Amino acid sequence: MLAFEDFFNQARDSRLGPYCETLNSALQSGFYQHLNGDLPDWLDTYKALPELVPDKIVFDAEAITFGSAEQVSDQQRQQLVDSLQLLHPWRKGPFNLFGVHIDTEWRSYLKWQRVEPHVRPLGGKYVLDIGCGNGYYMWRMMNQQPRLVLGIDPSQKYLMQFRFVKKYAPQVPLHYLPLRSEDLPNDMAQFDTVFSMGVLYHRRSPFDHLEELGNCLVSGGQLILETLVIDGEINEVLVPTGRYAQMRNVWFLPSCATLKAWLERTGFINVRIVDVGRTRVEEQRATEWMRFQSLANYLHPDDPDLTVEGHPAPQRAVVIADKP
């Protein structure tokens, strides 16, 4: 069965040590009690992946790259393709494993290009990525050599996508626990930098989520928050009735001024909006690695400034804030 000893072995000898028992308990009561029915097949496929040692690992390119095409035979390449496709859809990326290019739905490097210039140096730091998806952004952080990066996300398919990739870089201090931010200890103020990207609008209570983020940061730590916003003034918020861009679980889309006020209300300081922009179909689209509908299907056919439901089209803001 799936275990997380790599994380706990490193965490026990770090500032996260006092929280290992609580985190393990959260896994026992959550993850292990609700295992995906496909997990045994995913684990069997993982065990059968080609045993390869990459001749290079590249963290600071658009596609996180492990090895080169020359390292694999045609048979091994096809095995990689078939194994990786078992975990369809691949949403965040891209990745390249021994010449197999995983062209994900999101060209996530475009978001990273907007975010990275505003992130304090991560060398030697403890980093938490809440709602980490399959871990693409965490891999991008590795170029700065942080002490430890922990990602949490309840998706078991994303967990296995992460595991498939990390098989080829087991030594990297990068870990994934299938947990939600609500599962973290309230007093776990141990991370120098916390990322929350694409999470806030999925939470029924944005203030609870912002407090959870603050609870994870050391004094003086930095928050990087990315979320959907609308144009508007202070206290303007869109609460969609029904779906938003075909998503059922979208609750609050604030204006930038409102979002800034929320962060200040929950105790953050030096709050600044560093980027605001529309999501484009060039950034989010269907591919052979994500064959379902994508952004083009979620926009109004007669007016791309609107969603199919008639709401303002997706616009995202990057916000940086500090914990006092």
pLDDT of 232 strictly over 90: yes
**Residue 261: φ, ψ to 5°:** -65, -40
Average pLDDT over residues 269-286: 98
Given a contact cutoff of 8 angstroms between Cβ atoms, the answer to whether 120 and 152 are in contact is: no
What value, to the nearest 5°, has the Cα angle with vertex 58 and ends 49 and 7?
60
Given a contact cutoff of 8 angstroms between Cβ atoms, the answer to whether 115 and 181 are in contact is: no
pLDDT of 82 strictly over 90: yes
Helical H segments across 89-241, by residue range: 108-115, 136-141, 156-166, 206-216
Residue of 70, 135, 67, 132 lying closest to 96 (CA atoms): 67
pLDDT of 1 strictly over 80: no
Distance in angstroms (rounded) separating the CA atoms of residues 17 and 7: 11
Distance in angstroms (rounded) separating the CA atoms of residues 197 and 11: 24
Average pLDDT over residues 158-175: 98
| Band of residue 108 on the pLDDT scale cut at 50, 70, 90 | very high
pLDDT tens sequence across 18-58? 999 999 999 999 999 999 999 999 999 999 999 999 999 99
Q: Which residues of 97-121 are buried (b: 16+ CB within 10 A; e: fewer)?
A: bbebebbbbbbbbbbbebbbeebee
CATH fold of the domain at 12-322: Rossmann fold (3.40.50)
| Band of residue 272 on the pLDDT scale cut at 50, 70, 90 | very high
**pLDDT attached to residue 204:** 95
Q: What is the pTM of this model?
A: 0.97
Average pLDDT over residues 150-173: 98
